[in-house]
């Protein structure tokens, strides 16, 4: 039976000690070296009278830590323990189990619950982490639910309609966490109390068909002076055109106050479909004035008709889709009197009246009967019938600023013209301007027009 490593090691040490003792005795009996050992001169001497003991050579290898210096026993491997703990196997520690914590649901509302002075169009959202929304409702003071929607994963809720002015709403519900526990959601929101709400109006109206020069007029019914308010209004209005049309807003001083107009860079393309969407409810106009209602209008641009009046030739020519339709002899305003000169520039047909009574006390006439009167300016410029100037029409300009036609020609023009048709007057000594009245949009050059938008970098207010 093979001995243990410890016993083998002890035996080797004892054998080496006994051998060393015998060798010492042999050395004292004779003068020669012990057989089997190597002298420094490498000479081996044997002694005949003494018994011979063969000693295995002692290894010259360095001694490792924890090992003895005795020669190893042939045919055996000796392992010397480095410590007593190596003689036994230590048991492995038992791992401590990890404790799993399931988080409770949390939620965040934007804006924060309890917010007040909100715009009715403020977006409201509630988002949940580590859970889902089991139920959530927003109700007004009468207990009626406000529209809202849950996301597909039920982790968020979003307000679905504008709120009312000067109102308080209650938000209530709960979120259920992954741990199965419910967290209560409870709070309120309050909206702004305006000093006044403003109802706007859009022209052209819904379903109208208008001429290629018709601008879009957003009448606000009050003077909006606040620049931020004007920007808010412009941002709330979308102009959709088919085909796409380049255009811009401009703040214009109309007869009834400041208004917002939009016109294309050049005349509309015939047949263009235009939709105006003005989401003005809940929009701040500045100075605590707010929009009262949303508005829309969809209209169509009709055929391309342009009337061209030349003061020097005394003619009024009407072109339809590029072709001459009428060529009327005309009398314009008296050029020698600045108060009677027909101003030059681009007007539009604004309205039509079968009979319009004209009065101008400064020039001593009252309730003059103008038949087939087509208004092109709020300053009193019309294209109308006046048989009293029939004999000089086409030859002289003698009117008080209007364009006179015969009764027959005036009726022909009246019957086929429509709102928004451009009327271009050339050859005048005085240019048309804001003083010509309500709709003077085309008298403003395009580069200047663009700077009148509150969203323009060049806007000065």
Largest CA distance in the chain: 178
Q: C-alpha dihedral over 75, 81, 84, 88, to 10 degrees? A: -60
Q: How many residues does the chain have?
A: 461
Q: State the DSSP H helix or E strand holding residue 134, giving kind and residue range, or none if neither.
A: strand 131-139
Residue 22 a catalytic site member: no
Strand arrangement, sheet containing 148-150: 106-110, 125-129, 156-159, 148-150
Residue 384 a catalytic site member: yes
Sign of CA dihedral 333, 334, 339, 341: positive
Q: Which of 254, 356, 400, 402 is catalytic?
A: 402
Tell me the C-alpha distance between 46 and 426, whole Å.
149
> Would you state the structure tokens that stand for residue 363, as one six-digit string?
């020039």
Tell me the C-alpha distance between 259 and 275, whole Å.
19
Q: Which of 254, 314, 384, 400 is catalytic?
A: 384
Tell me the C-alpha distance between 341 and 351, whole Å.
22
Between CA 82 and CA 84, with CA 83 as vertex, the angle to 5 degrees is 140
Tell me the C-alpha distance between 287 and 442, whole Å.
31
Catalytic residue set: 384, 402
């Amino acid at each position: 039976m093979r001995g243990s490593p410890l016993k083998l090691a002890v035996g080797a040490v004892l054998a080496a000690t006994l051998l060393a003792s015998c060798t010492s005795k042999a050395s004292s009996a004779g003068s020669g070296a012990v057989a089997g050992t190597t002298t420094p001169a490498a000479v081996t001497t044997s002694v005949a009278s003494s018994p011979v003991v063969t000693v295995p050579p002692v290894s010259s290898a360095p001694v490792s830590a924890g090992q003895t210096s005795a020669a190893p026993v042939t045919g055996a491997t000796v392992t010397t323990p480095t410590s007593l703990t190596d003689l036994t196997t230590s048991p492995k520690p038992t791992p401590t189990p990890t404790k799993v914590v399931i988080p409770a649901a949390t939620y965040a509302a934007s804006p924060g619950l309890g917010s007040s002075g909100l715009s009715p169009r403020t977006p409201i959202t509630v988002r949940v982490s580590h859970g889902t929304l089991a139920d959530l409702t927003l109700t007004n003071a009468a207990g009626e639910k406000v529209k809202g929607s849950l996301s597909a994963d039920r982790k968020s809720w979003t307000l679905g309609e504008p709120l009312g002015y000067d109102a308080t709403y209650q938000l209530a519900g709960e979120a259920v966490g992954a741990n199965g526990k419910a967290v209560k959601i409870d709070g309120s929101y309050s909206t702004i109390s305006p000093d006044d709400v403003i109802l706007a109006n859009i022209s052209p109206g819904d379903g109208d068909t208008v001429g290629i020069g018709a601008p879009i007029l957003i009448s606000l019914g009050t003077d909006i002076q606040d620049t931020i308010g004007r920007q808010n209004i412009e941002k709330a209005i979308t102009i959709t055109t088919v085909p796409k049309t380049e255009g811009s807003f401009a703040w214009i001083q109309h007869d009834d106050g400041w208004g917002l107009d939009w016109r294309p860079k050049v005349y509309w393309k015939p047949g263009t479909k235009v939709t105006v969407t003005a989401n003005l409810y809940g929009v701040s106009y500045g100075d605590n004035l707010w929009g009262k209602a949303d508005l829309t209008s969809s209209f169509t641009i009709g055929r391309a008709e342009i009337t061209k009046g030349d003061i020097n030739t005394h003619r009024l020519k009407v072109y339809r889709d590029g072709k001459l339709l009428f060529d009327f002899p005309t009398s314009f305003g008296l050029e020698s009197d600045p108060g009677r000169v027909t101003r030059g520039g681009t007007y539009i047909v604004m309205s039509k009246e079968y009979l319009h009574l004209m009065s101008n006390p400064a020039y001593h006439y009252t309730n003059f009967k103008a038949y087939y009167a087509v208004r092109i300016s709020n300053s009193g410029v019309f294209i109308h019938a006046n048989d009293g100037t029939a004999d000089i029409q086409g030859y002289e300009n003698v009117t008080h600023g209007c364009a006179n036609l015969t009764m027959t020609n005036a009726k022909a023009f009246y019957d086929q013209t429509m709102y928004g048709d451009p009327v271009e007057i050339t050859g005048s000594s005085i240019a048309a301007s804001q003083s010509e009245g309500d709709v003077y949009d085309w008298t403003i050059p395009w580069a200047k027009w663009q700077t009148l938008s509150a969203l323009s970098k060049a806007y000065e207010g």
